[in-house]
Structure 1
Amino acid sequence: MITFDIIIFISSIIFGIALYWLEAKNNGLYRSINKITNSKELRMPAISKKGFFVNQEFIPRLIYVNVIFILVVLVFLVLPFGPRIEYYVSGVLGTMIGIYIANFVINVKDRSENILDKVVDTGNDIIDDIKTKGQEVTDSFSKEETTEETMSTEPETPKKSGRERLKDKGLLK
């Protein structure tokens, strides 16, 4: 009997993880129930991720899990062996543990993706700064080289002195 209890506990952990993961992807059932039960002013916003298990406190999660398992127990009451309280408790406890494990994993994944995005953006900014600064430095070196090249490549024509220019104009003899 202990092994069956352990099997129920482990499978309920997996069930809790699956419940949380499915609701984190799409909270359509919670949204539709919210739309039916609340007026337009009290409905949750369209961008809200809140669901039966996602973004809920401990007590509402526990209530929703108990409702699910009460429905399961009602189905099993028609079977000849009937449910036992130990199986119910291990199922509820395992599901709650699975929900919190999934919550932890998804939050860590989201935070790590945000951190990686920030690191990549910072790295790209640094690389862009290096490229622009490097381009400015190479441009300044190339300007210095071109001014030196233009000075050295121009053929030096002999320049006339001031006296010779005045003689050419006829102002001096």
Structure 2
Amino acid sequence: MRPVLMYLGRYISGGPISKSRLIEVTEDRVLFRYADNKDLDEDKRPTNKVMPLSLSDFIRRLLLHVPVPGLQYVRSYGIYANTKRSELAQCREQSGQDNLEIPEPLGWKDALAKVSDKHPERCPICGKQLLYSGVIPRKRQGESASFRDFEKLIQPVGIPVAA
């Protein structure tokens, strides 16, 4: 367990590659050292190898490790665990940081209104109020919705169905 914690600690605080692993950086390429876990030596340890990459390829690979904005990268270990919320609030207070304000979750109508000027409950063509008549149940993989499912939905609205 300790090696896993050491790895996570280094990865979280240090990033995907340390400066000591960089051998050479030029305008057009990067050489760095890595451990090949598929090629083991006689002691069953990974073999150290050198990888050359173009600068653009190196940056592309490096950016794969940058979390998406708003993504909570570490959430179940240490002070960021859900069970440590009060301790995290205390740390924020002691360091002079404001407490995090958790916004109320948006309903689907409000979320759609933020990204579109079209009202989600109005017909996009005529602008009349849409009528809710039900949900087409999700089918198992390989099945498709039948005409009968569609017919059940449009009956309450009064749309005639051809026989």
Scaled by the length of structure 1, what TM-score is found?
Answer: 0.21
Higher RCO (C-alpha 8 Å, min separation 6): 1
Give the number of the structure whose residues are more often helix, by fraction: 1
Q: Radius of gyration: which is bigger?
A: 1
Give the number of the structure whose residues are more often strand, by fraction: 2
